Amino acid sequence: MDVLNKIYNIIMTKQILGSVITLVIAVFLVSMINGIISKILITGKTQFEVKRRKTIIKLFQSIVKYIIYIIALLIILDFWGVDTRSLITSLGIFGAVLGLAMQDTVKDFIGGISLILENYLQVGDTVTFNNFTGEVIELNLRTTKIQGFDGEVLIVANRNIDTIINASQKKSHLLLEIPTAYEEKVSKVEKVLKDVINEAIKEKLIFDDSIYAGVNELASHSVQYLINIHCDQNKRYNIKRIILERVKLAYEKNNIKIPYEQIEVHHGQDI
């Protein structure tokens, strides 16, 4: 019984109880405030706005988390008799010295804030950095993570992102040439291709300004018909495959031939 009382008295001391309560409150506040921020900022009129707001949310959530946990740490230290005022003053001096010693890290933080607030990058954007192309999967205050199409992840310090190509700020234009046999009637081919495009527009697979552009080339073994597809930049490769598959199926259904190169061999006496 005496042991339990001693344990109870230890737990109920200002240092232990106050520290636990402070930590619990800090965790609760981080969770609650982050939830409120998400509900307020998550909506948007367009997909572009939603992506941008999601990125800003992550920035604010990181800032809120660090501020609350630092305040909680100072309160806990105060419970244990640490002179937090002197500590804050010392930290200020130490921070100035540390800032000089960690200039690269400071540049990373400044670069991360600049990337987000000035709308250079957003989570989900397709970008190219030093010949590496992929999707931005994480945008932190210090680093940016880009996942390539083969699954590799490139981690870049934000201070190094001085030149980057962002392909997601605009919609993508796909110019697809469809080889077709010379003997097929132009009017028939045009109708089939327009039907494929119109069906994809109705399904909202591509944008409504996608068009059939006409005959693009009279090649040696085929007529090249051109279609101009406008679509979401992040989905362009998948949409290209889908459209080409639909054209192939439509050609088969309408008995339209897709030619392939052939070599004619003549015997000397037949020439």
The fold of the 126-166 domain, in CATH, is SH3 type barrels. (2.30.30)
Q: 3-state class of 136 per DSSP?
A: strand
Q: Residue 93: is it exposed, middle or buried by C-beta count within 10 angstroms (0-12/13-18/19+)?
A: exposed
| Radius of gyration in angstroms for the set of CA atoms belonging to the chain, rounded to a whole number | 31
- Take residue 33 and report the two structure tokens written for it: 């405030």
pLDDT at 216 over 80: yes
The secondary structure element, H or E, covering residue 7 is: helix 2-11
The yes-or-no verdict on residue 177 having pLDDT over 50 is yes
Query: What is the CATH number assigned to the segment(s) 172-253?
Result: 3.30.70.100
Domain ranges of the chain: 2-101, 126-166, 172-253
| Distance from the Cα of residue 257 to its chain's centroid | 40
Tell me the pLDDT of the chain averaged across its residues.
Answer: 77
Lowest mean pLDDT among 55-69, 187-201, 206-220, 242-256: 55-69
- 45 has a pLDDT exceeding 50: no
Helix, strand, coil % over all residues of the chain, rounded to 5: 55, 20, 25
Read off the pLDDT of residues 144-161 as tens digits, 9 standing for 90 and up: 888 887 888 888 887 777
Max mean pLDDT among 4-13, 139-148, 165-174 falls in 139-148
Residue 250's pLDDT is 94
Higher-pLDDT residue of 18 and 257 is: 257
